[in-house]
Amino acid sequence: MAGVERNLTLSAVVRRLPEVEQELVRLRFVEGLTQLEIAERVGRSQMQISRMLARSLDRLRGWVSEDPAA
């Protein structure tokens, strides 16, 4: 049950990200693509993807620590 609640919380928090960042997070953590594979798919450099994912994950961590029930 805790796993279901955690997934629901993560889904809700991820939806707060801009659509582009949601897609990057999905490609990385749901589809399991590497940063290079994501970069090739979306037409950006691996370094851009790395920075965007880092920024997205920082936002997610902040939101979850602000309000664990987010």
Q: What is the pLDDT of residue 8?
A: 57
**Using CA atoms, how far apart are residues 52 and 58, in angstroms rounded to an integer?**
10
CATH number of the domain that residue 48 is part of:
1.10.10.10
Residues 39-54 have pLDDT tens digits of 999 999 999 999 999 9
- Domain count of the fold of the chain: 1
Output helix, strand, coil percentages for the chain, rounded to the nearest 5. 75, 0, 25
**Using CA atoms, how far apart are residues 10 and 45, in angstroms rounded to an integer?**
27
Range of the domain at 8: 2-66
What pTM, to 2 d.p., does this model score?
0.81
